[in-house]
Structure 1
Amino acid sequence: MDWLGIGVFILSLAFAALVILLIPVFKKLTETLGHTAETVESVNKTVGEVSGEATVILHNVNETLMDVNEKIAQLNPLFKIVHDTGESAHHLTSTMVKFTSKKADHAQAGTDILDRNNLEGILRGAAFIYYLRQAKKDYDHKNA
């Protein structure tokens, strides 16, 4: 045998030994990749479920916000009436202070100012009281 043949034989023996030594490593690598594939599949399924639940939660939050906005919109006129009633009461008391401090000959002018400035606020206050009574009747009717 010549030197080239001996060198090729040694190389083939070394390659065969390397292959024999790498077989368990490749088996473990195959097993690990199989477990990794199962884990990825499980994670994908879990993410799908979580995203579905998150979608349901977001839908419920949107419905709740729409309901709250609707109820607040219904309360805005009520707050305006309360505000106008408060302003009316303020105007009434300030007019009464002015009225009581004036002399007797200016009493008619003070009454005119009172009627002219506070009539709208007083009517809104009466409307507010009427609204509260109607709401109480409706509430009592529903609970009866």
Structure 2
Amino acid sequence: MDLTGIGVLLIGIAILILAIFFARILNNIASILGGVDKTVEQLPKQLDNMFDETGKLLSNSNNTLSDVNEKLGTLTPLFHVVGDVGESTRRLSSTLVDVSKSSKSKLDKGDPNEQKKKLGGLYGSTALGLYLFRKRKETKQNDGWKRYES
């Protein structure tokens, strides 16, 4: 065998080894593509299920939203009433502020001695009323004890 024959034999062996290597690689790629094929086959079913669930979710969301809107519609008059009460309270308090300012300005213009006399009468009347209220309350409590003692 001459050198040319040995060279051709070595080239043949190298190509055979390369062919076996490429065959294994291509076999692995074929198995990977088989798995991808199975996954792709299942994909339409999974997408159909997902779209069905999404449709149900949207339907439930719409029902919930319409229910909330209905309940808010029934509460709207209540909010208007509360707003009206707030506006009335604001007007009343502003009126009371105006009255107290005018009273204060009248008191500021008046005689200090006269003011002291009026305040003294007011304090005295308040003290008398409080004293009578407490006495009446004590009398009611004592009458209650007398009934239980008898």
> Normalising to structure 1: TM-score of the pair?
0.52
* Pairs within 5 Å for 1:1-144: 13-98=2-87
Moved more, 49-58 or 66-75: 49-58
Q: Tell me the SS of whatever aligns to 2:29.
A: helix
Distance (Å, rounded) in 2 between the aligned partners of 1:24 and 1:74: 74
Shift of residue 27, structure 1, vs aligned partner: 1.9
Q: Give the aligned CA root-mean-square deviation in angstroms.
A: 2.7
TM-score (norm 2): 0.51
Distance between the aligned counterparts of 2:90 and 2:12, measured in 1? 110
- Consecutive aligned runs of 4 or more in structure 1 exceeding 6 Å deviation: 100-103
Higher relative contact order (CA 8 A, sep 6+): 1
Distance 1:40 1:91 in 2: 72
| 23-32 vs 51-60, greater mean Cα deviation | 51-60
Larger-Rg structure: 2
User: Structure 2 vs 1, CA of residues 100 and 29 (structure 1 numbering), >3 Å: closer, same or farther?
Assistant: closer
Spell out, residue by residue over 1:49-92, the C-alpha distance to the aligned partner (whole angstroms, 9 max, x if none).
Answer: 12223333222211111001111122222111222233221101
Cα separation, partners in 2 of 1:97 and 1:37, compared to 1, 3 Å: closer
Query: Quick one: distance in 2 between partners of 1:34 and 1:98?
Result: 88
Identity of aligned residues (%): 11
Instruction: Evaluate the alpha carbon distance shift between residue 93 and residue 14 of structure 1 in structure 2; reply closer, same or farther with a 3 A threshold.
Output: same
Aligned residue number for residue 118 of structure 2: none
- The alpha carbon displacement at 1:48 in A equals 0.6
Q: How far off is 1:30 after superposition?
A: 2.0
The Cα shift of 1:101 comes to 7.6
